[in-house]
Amino acid sequence: MFDVVSSSKWPTGFLINPNAEPLDPKWLTEFSKIPAAAVSDCLGRNVGGLGLKPFHGSRPMLGSALTVRVRPGDNLMILKAMQMARPGDVLVIDGSADLTRAVFGGIMRAMALKAGIVGVVINGALRDLDEWQTGELPAYAIGGVHRGPSTDGGGEINVPISCAGMLVMPGDLMIGDGDGVVAASRSELPELLIRCHDLLAREQATLAAIEAGTLDPDRFDAILRAKGCPV
């Protein structure tokens, strides 16, 4: 049997770090006007969660990431994270995309609402699906299943995680809507906001040109010709 080195403070497989600094409320105000798809485009179109489905309806989600990594099918550290959560936090959970057990359900939903949590994103499964459809708490997950979790651990809180292929750091801005979920690092928010405004302005100009019938008819042929196509 190989020896597994443990931290002198935490047993192997367990770690709880302090919460990240709260996001400046101005970023929540500014990004509340920007769709997740626009943020994704402005981050290079190769970031954001894949396979995450909204289970709550169409209400958008916006908040600061409180990250949790759990053993597949276990929710002990999620329960602990909810005790640490601040109003405006989004729980972002790496459950290894396990769909055999739900790690979040109706009782935990009530706890999250009471704590002021504004969203739940699960790389895994949730349950009590009818309760989520009221729309009060945005919830994104890979799937749903009736089987419940164990509560044994281990897990880690406020560490970098991978959630449905998306890198999430504690304190990242989480943006979610009907298209899915995107995480944005707080360090890139000033420049990202400018790019998003520019993109949305270009989209509005394109829509106006479509409506007016003035969209350049040679636009796509020019792209094809640049690639050597005889059009």
Q: Are 49 and 166 in contact (CB under 8 A)?
A: yes
Q: Decide: 155 and 31 in contact? Cβ < 8 Å.
A: no
* Helical (H) or strand (E) element with 62: strand 61-70
Return the structure tokens found at 183. 């995480």
Give the number of C-alpha atoms closer than 13 A to the C-alpha of residue 206, restricted to the C-beta side.
8
- 36 phi, psi to nearest 5 deg: -60, -35
Measured from the Cβ of residue 189, the count of other Cβ atoms closer than 10 Å reads 19
Check whether 128 is labelled as a binding-site residue: yes
Q: Is 108 annotated as a binding residue?
A: yes
Q: Any alpha helices (H) in 133-218, and if so which ranges?
A: 189-212
Which residue type does 62 have? Answer: L
Residue 176 annotated as part of some ligand binding site: no
Tell me whether residue 84 is annotated as binding. Answer: no
Query: Do 184 and 172 touch, CB atoms closer than 8 A?
Result: yes
Per the annotation, binding residues for Mg(2+) are: 128
Per the annotation, binding residues for substrate are: 105-108, 127
Per the annotation, binding residues are: 105-108, 127-128
